[in-house]
Amino acid sequence: MSNKLNVLVIGSGGREHALVKALLKSPMLGFLACAPGNGGISRDCETVALSVMDSQGIVSYCLERKIDLVVCGPEVPLANGLADELRSRGVAVYGPNKNGAILEASKAFSKDFMHKYGVPTAAYENFSDFESAKSFIEKAPFDVVVKASGLAAGKGVIVPSSKAEAVEAAREMLCGDSFGDSGRQIVVEEKLEGEEASIMLMVCGRNYVMLPPSQDHKRVFDGDKGPNTGGMGAYAPAAVATEEVLKDVRENIVRPVLDGLCKEGIDYRGTLYIGIMVTKSGAKVIEFNVRFGDPECQVLMPLIESDVLEALNDIALGRLDSSLVRIRRGYAATVVMCAGGYPQDYKKGDEISLPAAVEPDSFIIHAGTKIVDGKLVTNGGRVLDMTAVGDTLESALEKAYALCAKTSFDGAFYRKDIGYRQLKRNSDSSSHA
């Protein structure tokens, strides 16, 4: 193709840096920019001082710089209708319109959507009145999970250890201000038992590519202890999603969801992230997101062997040929290095020392960094995503942890047990062999 594509990535985290690195490999790429980007992204492409919330500023920039494709990283701009505004001005977008983004922006909507189209998920009720929620929790014949219906940056889910704790969580959301407007409506649902996996689809109407299943680690400390975070590490492919599980997901979740979207008149073009619980009675949906997971994106991008830009552009233009997307063999793992105190209060502005050289198939992805007076400093709770690809999960993790060992900043910490469930499965199966 002689016409190169001018691309703008929206966002400032590790997910967006992973996307930038994947797009830079494309022979189709002309000009690449990221708004607003971060310290690491600014070393790889132009960064633009525009907030992800500034839809008008983004549209103006795209028209001025003749941007052909916008790749939207985070969910909030999509829920605000950024894709609709760009498309109305003739700019192609990888990411759903506002009517598709509601799958993530309203958990109440997504639960009702699943119920309507027969998608397996936990039993639930939606509430905006505390007394009704309290009565449901107390009478429910199962343990419950309490979720803020609106967007809460991946942190709006409370898994209580008792009915009393569940009632208190509902009270804080509906009567207090623990999640602001996001908690004005809540979903109370049955607590599912099993193991979680993340299924990312690149969707174009009824066509889709299923990327390798991945597994995130949400809690801050080893052994899944401590508070929830935005994600402390991930690996792919995750063996918990066996061929049998993936067949079940395709037939009983993906097909009815994509059919349902079409029936609702939603022309979905972008990532559909399906968080599943693998239960004794099959895979069930925990939640939908309308963008790549973070840190799952960091392990999926290096596993795509074909041209990522070509796939994203084709989807944005409504013409996906899924046979063109090729996945490489092997495993990818990412370990998130965090600022001391995360996910509670943490300080910013500490200088970061990075290794001078990085091995092939190893990547330092920047999440919360910026450059101040020529120095790279911390600028977030999740600072760096140390990522590597290997023939086995063990070798990918070994390379990722080697990067962590060669990197330092004040208060840095990370989980030492990423992939532990699968490593245990691997050692159990080899000891039985």
- CATH number, domain 5-98: 3.40.50.20
What's the rounded Cα separation, in Å, for the pair 310 and 432? Answer: 44
Extract the tokens encoding 58: 């983004």
User: How far apart are the C-alpha atoms of 261 and 258, rounded to whole Å?
Assistant: 5
Reported CATH class of domain 129-184: alpha beta
Q: What is the pLDDT of residue 278?
A: 96
Alpha carbon 364 to chain centroid, angstroms: 18
The pLDDT score that the predictor gives to residue 232 is 97
pLDDT on residue 1? 45
Confidence (pTM): 0.94
10-residue mean pLDDT profile of the chain (433 residues): values are: 87 98 98 98 97 97 98 96 97 98 93 96 92 92 89 75 91 78 82 94 96 96 92 96 96 98 97 96 95 97 98 97 95 98 95 93 97 97 98 97 97 97 84 67
% helix, strand, coil for the chain, step of 5: 35, 30, 35
Contacts of 164 (CB under 8 A, 6+ apart): none
CATH 3.40.50.20-classified regions of the chain: 5-98
> Before 74, cis peptide (omega within 30)?
no
Per-residue pLDDT, 75: 95
